Amino acid sequence: MSFVHKTVLLHEAVEALAIRPDGCYVDGTFGRGGHSRLILSRLGPGGRLIAFDKDPAAIREAGQIADPRFSIVHEGFATLADALAARGVTAIDGLLLDLGVSSPQLDDGSRGFSFRFDAPLDMRMDTTRGNTVAEWLASADQQDIAEVIRDYGEERFAKQIAAAIVARRGDAPVGTTRELATLVAGVVRTREPGQDPATRTFQALRIFINRELEELALILPQALALLAPGGRLAVIAFHSLEDRIVKRFMQDAAKNHLPSRLPIRAADLPPPPLRLIGKPIRAGDTELADNPRARSAILRVAERTEAAQ
């Protein structure tokens, strides 16, 4: 089947990179290639684009781009520095990250990301390696399950959900999306209007099994080290946990950290390694009408300065 993916903040994100025709850019989350294809349209013959993605379906989609300036890496973006070094790249002019799960992953019921379908409880972005959510839930300690659901899903009923999952293992482990959604619905009695009781639990398990927050924390310092002066870092986040990591990193790297008691004027301080570019950008009314999944997207942009790291 073919699943449609509407790229969120397509033009805003690529404009934020301030593409140089002969520059070297990285799309850390290829997805279905919306951002990558637009970046390629802005590059000249001497430009280069290297994309990353864990998902085998995304890798197959990338194989349709017959462009010598483009290459795809079947790895998560946390491998950025090593993967670029292996390709002889020591500096880049821009990095784009479009975080979270893609529409095709959600809409393909067999992937197990969504409670809208009854399917094996998988949720791996890379289906070629690692444990599925079902496999992890079958053996994890109750406390570990509760902590994951609480920390990654901000779910106030995390302890009760974890207890129900472990109790269920006495008969048979939770193995499908419908089984998990039904179990959670029996525990979570109140929820925000319009939100399914299982929303936060599914989000938490997906983030955990794919190490999404850990990989985000790993790539940001790598980006800072690899960006050439004037290079841009553009990140689209979809929920508060990942946006908080991005916001704090950018703000911290955009400040000087010399002891305040030193007798140095502010004008004499060396510039920080990053400069914040504009205000955070959200989808406009037109995009929201066409793609409601863009409602939580927020784009933050920063530029590498001449300062030493």
Answer whether residue 173 shows pLDDT above 80: yes
Across residues 206-216, what is the average pLDDT? 96
Q: Are residues 187 and 229 in the same domain?
A: no
Burial 125-152 (b: 16+ CB within 10 A, else e): bbbeeeebbbbbbbebeeeebbbbbbeb
Burial of 279 (0-12, 13-18, 19+ CB in 10 A): exposed
284 residue type, one letter:
G
Report the 10 Å Cβ neighbour count for 288.
14
- Provide the pLDDT confidence category of residue 61 given band limits of 50, 70 and 90: very high
Q: What is the mean pLDDT of the chain?
A: 92
pTM of the model: 0.91
pLDDT for the residue 1: 46
Across residues 249-274, what is the average pLDDT? 78
- Better-predicted residue by pLDDT, 194 or 291: 291
pLDDT for the residue 3: 47
pLDDT for the residue 298: 97
**How many Å from the N-terminal Cα to the C-terminal Cα in the chain?**
47
Burial 215-239 (b: 16+ CB within 10 A, else e): bbebbbebbbebbeeebbbbbbbbb
Q: Are residues 191 and 252 in the same domain?
A: no
- Rounded distance, CA 186 to CA 37, Å? 45
Radius of gyration of the chain measured on its C-alpha atoms: 21
Q: Are residues 75 and 92 in the same domain?
A: yes
pLDDT for the residue 258: 63
Of 104, 173, 144, the C-alpha closest to 113 is: 104
15 in any annotated domain: yes
**294 DSSP 8-state letter:** G
Q: Please check whether residue 85 is in contact with residue 95, taking contact to mean a CB–CB distance below 8 angstroms.
A: no
Across residues 216-245, what is the average pLDDT? 97
Kindly report the backbone phi and psi dihedral angles of residue 108, in degrees, each rounded to the nearest multiple of 5, phi listed first: -90, 100
Answer whether residue 2 shows pLDDT above 50: no
pLDDT for the residue 260: 60
- Rounded distance, CA 169 to CA 137, Å? 9
Answer whether residue 191 shows pLDDT above 80: no
Secondary structure (DSSP) of 246-275: HHHHHHHHTS--S-TTSS--GGGSPPPSEE
**Total residue length of the chain:** 309
121 in any annotated domain: no
Q: Are residues 140 and 261 in the same domain?
A: no
Answer whether residue 307 shows pLDDT above 50: yes
Across residues 123-149, what is the average pLDDT? 96
- Provide the pLDDT confidence category of residue 100 given band limits of 50, 70 and 90: confident
96 in any annotated domain: yes
Over residues 20-39, the pLDDT tens digits come to 999 999 999 999 899 999 99
Neighbouring C-alpha atoms within 13 Å toward the C-beta of 1: 10
pLDDT for the residue 106: 75
Domain that holds residue 67: 10-103+212-304
Q: Are residues 219 and 86 in the same domain?
A: yes
> Can you say whether residue 217 is alpha, beta or left, with left for phi > 0 and alpha for psi between -120 and 50 degrees?
alpha
Strand partners, 230: none
115 in any annotated domain: no
Answer whether residue 67 shows pLDDT above 60: yes
Longest dimension (CA), the chain: 70
pLDDT for the residue 4: 55
Across residues 248-277, what is the average pLDDT? 80
pLDDT for the residue 46: 97
Q: Please check whether residue 27 is in contact with residue 39, taking contact to mean a CB–CB distance below 8 angstroms.
A: yes
Q: Which residues fall in the annotated binding site?
A: 33-35, 53, 77, 98, 105
Q: Are residues 181 and 221 in the same domain?
A: no
48 in any annotated domain: yes
pLDDT for the residue 235: 98
Q: Which residues fall in the annotated binding site for S-adenosyl-L-methionine?
A: 33-35, 53, 77, 98, 105
pLDDT for the residue 144: 98
**170 DSSP 8-state letter:** T
pLDDT for the residue 69: 98
CATH code of the domain covering residue 286: 3.40.50.150
CATH code of the domain covering residue 166: 1.10.150.170
**Which of 209, 240, 272 lies at the terminal end of a domain, its last residue?**
209
pLDDT for the residue 199: 92
**47 DSSP 8-state letter:** -
pLDDT for the residue 265: 64
Across residues 95-102, what is the average pLDDT? 90
For residue 306, give the 3-state DSSP assignment: coil
- Better-predicted residue by pLDDT, 158 or 117: 158
